[in-house]
Structure 1
Amino acid sequence: MNFDSLYYPYPSQRVAVYAQNGMVATSQHLAAQGGLDILKKGGNAIDAAIATAACLTVLEPTSNGIGSDAFALVWTNGELYGLNASGPSPQTLSLETVLKMGYKQMPKYGWIPVTVPGAPAGWAALSSRFGKIPFADCLKPAIEYAEKGYPLSPVLAKYWATSFATYSEALRGPEFANWFATFAPKGRAPVAGEIWNSPDHAQSLQLIAETKAEALYRGELAEKIDQFSRQFGGYLSKQDLENFSPQWVKPIKVRYRGYDVWEIPPNGQGLVTLLALNILDRFEFAERDTTETFHTQIEALKLAFADGKRYITDPEKMSVKIEDLLSKAYAEERSQLIKETASFPEAGKPTGSGTVYLAAADDSGNMVSYIQSNYMGFGSGLVVPGTGISLQNRGNNFSLDPAAANRLEPGKRTYHTIIPGFLTKDHGPIGSFGVMGGFMQPQGHLQVIMNTVDFHLNPQAAIDAPRWRWIGDRSIELEHSFPPHLAEALARRGHNVNMVLDPYGFGRGQIIWKDQKTGVLTGGTDSRTDGMVACW
């Protein structure tokens, strides 16, 4: 891939990184180095991704943990594979149960939004199918960091302090005591440069390593989760854990400007990115920084989100076919709805039936796009005593509207925000990309792909470019470095524009591209976070 620009013409803290033997990019520098160490010890990109993911549960607990869900796209042996390691709701939790409690929408904290954690089973599945070295070896770096501790990096400390303030206000009751004991042992959030460790977390990772994750689903850790749940009237049980297994899925794609853009199929929201790109493929964009470009991007994304919010849920419960949503005819129909001024988005009717991201690549042609998350920072606020495991709150995305496609049902997987992305051309890999940040993720994917394909920015420049974010109706937020004259022009088009000083709400991404001729790897990691590209 040719890059017309080495830099984006706005302030950046980083430049693109080049290497040929191996590369790991993620939002925490020690985690990236942990993955690189596995590569240097003979592991492949899949092993490195597992090691990095396990490290991130320790090194960035503000975004993910052992109690997370995960998704992965893996390029190996000339094919792209998808893994859905997201867990379902408990079998004993129903819509009627929650409505009878008086809730109008799913709560954020406590036992009601807790779903089965899928990430550790995902690690084991990746290792079993594609790994090169023993699974237990992949978890050694994470175990060491959990046991011995590490100093907090600046952005991590910021998120930790924010979560501590939020949880101090929101978490009431003895079931939350262990969250504070684990993540605020001094009665406050640790600060940048301060060392934090979690021996319980280390022991849990050790059990997962020794049993290939069986301890979490059918062993000692499952028993502790079940006991904790029963003690406080929770719904997650050892039967829910026993019945879970991750699923290998067929990735979905659209053709955009001669490239194939790949995402995980629902219940992930990667479909939203593909819907928007399918619409945008019907337009021509001569330049990135024009009112017409940004307006058209935003309007296409709004239409895609409207469809996503109406239709995406557990794939076994979807009322429309993905191929109908991604048809060229439907994209053409939707593209006609984009006018000169901002619109209120509505879903169409096709005919026919808190997060961490990492990218890894090795010198054998393997590439991994991987993402895992607890949701809303630390998740539910529940930490299983004696384990260091913070349980996710993914169930918060369920609807309590009985008519909604994504309504709460027992044993159902919810609409999921976390999505890994992958790019290919002419049946060969270009590489892995991802942007973290809740419902910002498909918006970040769209902007990164267009920065790369339409505007020929290298990975670091594509990530660093100022971003926009649609937040609902005609309202958008623009990053502080967004050109003011374009912000004013968008306002004249009918967009409700808000300039935001804090860059962290606009997602945090990583990219690794591979030159199909030379095999040289090019990596970028977001200046909005602490991460790095580790390579050799």
Structure 2
Amino acid sequence: MTGDAPTLDWSHPHASRRSPVLGRNVVATSQPLAAQAGLRMLLDGGNAVDAALAGAMALTVVEPTGCGLGGDAFAIVWDGRELHGLNASGRSPAAWSPQYFAALGGIPERGWNAATVPGVVSGWMALWRRFGSLPLARIAQPAIGYARQGFPVSPVVAQLWALGAARLGDQPGFAECFLPGGRAPRAGEIFRNEALARTLELIVQTEGEAFYRGALARALVQHAQAHGGALSLQDLDEHRADWVGTLAQRFGDSVIHEIPPNGQGIAALAALGMLDAHGVGGHPLDDARTVHASIEAMKLALADLDEYNADPAHARVAPADLLRPDYLRARAALIDPLRAGDPACGAPRPGGTVYLAAGDAGGMMVSFIQSNYMGFGSGVVVAGTGISLQNRGHGFSAVPGHANEVGPRKRPSHTVLPAFATHADGTPQMAFGVMGGPMQSQGHVQMALRVLRYGQNPQAAADAPRWRVTGGRGVAVEPSFDADVVRRLRALGHDVTVEPGSGVFAFGGAQLVLRLGDAYVAGSDPRKDGCAVAF
């Protein structure tokens, strides 16, 4: 036996009782067909980036409720020697200004005036050019096959599809693409998307150029102009994905890495830094005192996020200043162990996102996320292309002078965040993420606590019931949350709501890949359709 494996709790303390998946090569995604697409690349001799890209492309087909070719993406890659962070989120059209939206009565959630420049295709190309080892056509083949030949719709995706249809069915191109026969497909029904297959083939043939400077770019702009949008060919031509590195925060014996702003991962780093300063770990994992401290740290971090997070070119405070040890100690001192606080923070909304993690036998690991934001995003689908647009523009602020105020060629504050943990010596430890709009930073805190501080195995961490702060003293918990802990939280002044139904709609979906000596152990969230696969 080679390699030093960490000590993990292999028990099944939560309701799912899924077993963690172990192997030297592993992929964990939110949809089984996408996981298999990634695994096929590894079986063909590809690396973890090839696997992540095949899974990501497939997810635009088999989980369109969370992502599409008109979305954004972020990635953290361990290449075997060092970490790399990629920001492939789009900027606003040059025509966007506070006055532009004042005339519209505000920033909408739907339609072309909610969509910024799509970044996901640029992210795929940047990852493939730097780290890919297989031909792009081979990587895209599973996605193209699912689109052209069809795939059976999975149960959770079918639920989300029906919800999206009810909300977005009147948006340009939506019904034509996503409502065959006038309704959302049901679980088990075969769905085909020939237009998307052709678009993926064109992206492959041109290595993404058609999307930003060719036929697809022209189709995007013509559709925008026909439906009141402001997107221009110049907006698309000037888009670039950026290699931005990571922000890091020590947490016990680990270091947590997130993409810098405009991503909101800094909130997770700040909360974990506060918890370290507060001394979390002295009580049992699911003890009310541990949960209370975690909630309070998250509220303080979100208050700062709401005030300061923005496109770094427009930020008023440097991200590093929000993570200074003295500042985090001062913030941690505001956590009262006997009473819930009421700092100013926004009320998170459910979102639509897909996250995947992969690791290969050579040691490469990938933490990757892509999203259309609120479910199907803006609801807009460009006719004849299968390109569904995100609604990231709604993430801007309309408050005059705010760091995140809407403006031209600007990235909005972004909920999408991949996470990565290294050991204190800089060696890789875990790729992880939790889908679900602003739940993501809160989910990162809960996963880091469970796996990295308390040693839960990744599947148990994904299974565990979650909490979510909702503003003020409000906290939502899942129905399986311990009733005695709920009672104790209420006694501390938390306004706790037990939310019925499936947690996927409000508590996100986690995927985790933990390095285990010379192999990996992975977990996949039971709230979604996905799975971890390995060999």
Q: Indicate the TM-score class for this superposition, using the shorter chain for normalisation.
A: over 0.9
Report the secondary structure of 2:22's partner residue: strand
Report the secondary structure of 1:506's partner residue: coil
Question: What aligned pairs does 1:96-495 form with structure 2 within 5 A after superposition?
Answer: 96-103=99-106, 106-168=107-169, 171=170, 176-282=171-277, 283-285=279-281, 286-339=283-336, 340-346=338-344, 354-425=352-423, 426-495=425-494
TM-fit CA distance, 1:133: 1.3
State the match for 2:49 in structure 1: 46
The one-letter code of the counterpart of 1:35 is: G
| Contact residue 404 and residue 412 of structure 2 kept, 8 A | yes
| Contact residue 28 and residue 59 of structure 1 kept, 8 A | yes
Report the secondary structure of 1:360's partner residue: strand
The one-letter code of the counterpart of 1:284 is: V
Report the secondary structure of 2:216's partner residue: helix
State the match for 1:533 in structure 2: 532
| Contact residue 75 and residue 369 of structure 2 kept, 8 A | yes
| Contact residue 253 and residue 263 of structure 1 kept, 8 A | yes
| Counterpart Cα distance in 2 of 1:167 and 1:3 | 47
Specify whether residues 131 and 146 from structure 1 end up closer, same or farther in structure 2 by C-alpha distance, changes over 3 A only: same
Deviations 1:92-146 (A, max 9, x none): 111111112222xx21001111101101111011010111112222111101111
| Counterpart Cα distance in 2 of 1:521 and 1:77 | 15
Deviations 1:199-231 (A, max 9, x none): 000000000011111110001100101111111
| Contact residue 311 and residue 318 of structure 1 kept, 8 A | yes
| Counterpart Cα distance in 1 of 2:153 and 2:105 | 40
| Counterpart Cα distance in 1 of 2:280 and 2:195 | 55
TM-fit CA distance, 1:289: 1.6
| Counterpart Cα distance in 2 of 1:400 and 1:62 | 27
Report the secondary structure of 2:532's partner residue: strand
| Counterpart Cα distance in 1 of 2:105 and 2:344 | 29
| Contact residue 361 and residue 519 of structure 2 kept, 8 A | no
The one-letter code of the counterpart of 1:459 is: P
TM-fit CA distance, 1:421: 0.4
1:26 aligns to 2:29 (yes or no): yes
Structure 1 gap ranges (5+): 348-353
| Counterpart Cα distance in 2 of 1:195 and 1:295 | 45
| Contact residue 344 and residue 471 of structure 2 kept, 8 A | no
Report the secondary structure of 1:186's partner residue: helix
| Counterpart Cα distance in 2 of 1:180 and 1:342 | 46
TM-fit CA distance, 1:402: 1.0
Deviations 1:297-338 (A, max 9, x none): 000000000001111110111111111110100011101111
The one-letter code of the counterpart of 1:310 is: E
| Contact residue 174 and residue 381 of structure 2 kept, 8 A | yes
Deviations 1:138-162 (A, max 9, x none): 1111011110100011111111111
Report the secondary structure of 2:331's partner residue: helix
Report the secondary structure of 2:212's partner residue: helix
Match of 2:11 among 7, 10, 33: 7
| Contact residue 168 and residue 174 of structure 2 kept, 8 A | no
**What is the percent sequence identity of the aligned residues?**
46
The one-letter code of the counterpart of 1:400 is: A
| Counterpart Cα distance in 2 of 1:234 and 1:65 | 19
Question: How many residues get paired?
Answer: 519
The one-letter code of the counterpart of 1:288 is: L
State the match for 2:499 in structure 1: 500
| Contact residue 22 and residue 519 of structure 2 kept, 8 A | yes
TM-fit CA distance, 1:4: 4.1
The one-letter code of the counterpart of 1:150 is: F
The one-letter code of the counterpart of 2:510 is: G
State the match for 1:56 in structure 2: 59
The one-letter code of the counterpart of 2:174 is: W
Report the secondary structure of 1:368's partner residue: strand
TM-fit CA distance, 1:508: 0.1
Match of 1:37 among 36, 40, 43: 40
State the match for 2:349 in structure 1: none
TM-fit CA distance, 1:13: 4.3
| Contact residue 14 and residue 460 of structure 2 kept, 8 A | no
Deviations 1:7-34 (A, max 9, x none): 34221141111111x1110000000000
| Contact residue 371 and residue 418 of structure 1 kept, 8 A | yes
What TM-score, normalized by structure 1, do the two folds share? 0.95
State the match for 1:350 in structure 2: none
Match of 2:82 among 79, 84, 106: 79
| Contact residue 8 and residue 457 of structure 1 kept, 8 A | no
TM-fit CA distance, 1:238: 1.3
The one-letter code of the counterpart of 1:403 is: G
Specify whether residues 402 and 454 from structure 1 end up closer, same or farther in structure 2 by C-alpha distance, changes over 3 A only: same
TM-fit CA distance, 1:346: 4.1
| Counterpart Cα distance in 1 of 2:17 and 2:120 | 32
The one-letter code of the counterpart of 2:32 is: H
Specify whether residues 249 and 177 from structure 1 end up closer, same or farther in structure 2 by C-alpha distance, changes over 3 A only: closer
| Contact residue 3 and residue 458 of structure 1 kept, 8 A | no
| Counterpart Cα distance in 2 of 1:482 and 1:265 | 32
Q: CA RMSD in A?
A: 1.1
Report the secondary structure of 1:374's partner residue: strand
State the match for 2:348 in structure 1: none
| Contact residue 7 and residue 15 of structure 1 kept, 8 A | no
| Contact residue 48 and residue 360 of structure 2 kept, 8 A | yes
| Counterpart Cα distance in 2 of 1:459 and 1:79 | 23
Deviations 1:479-498 (A, max 9, x none): 11100011011011111110
Deviations 1:465-489 (A, max 9, x none): 1110001111000111100011011
Specify whether residues 29 and 152 from structure 1 end up closer, same or farther in structure 2 by C-alpha distance, changes over 3 A only: same
Deviations 1:396-449 (A, max 9, x none): 010111121100000100000010000110211012000000010000000000
Task: Point out 4+ residue stretches in structure 1 off by more than 6 angstroms.
Answer: none
TM-fit CA distance, 1:70: 0.1
Report the secondary structure of 2:511's partner residue: strand
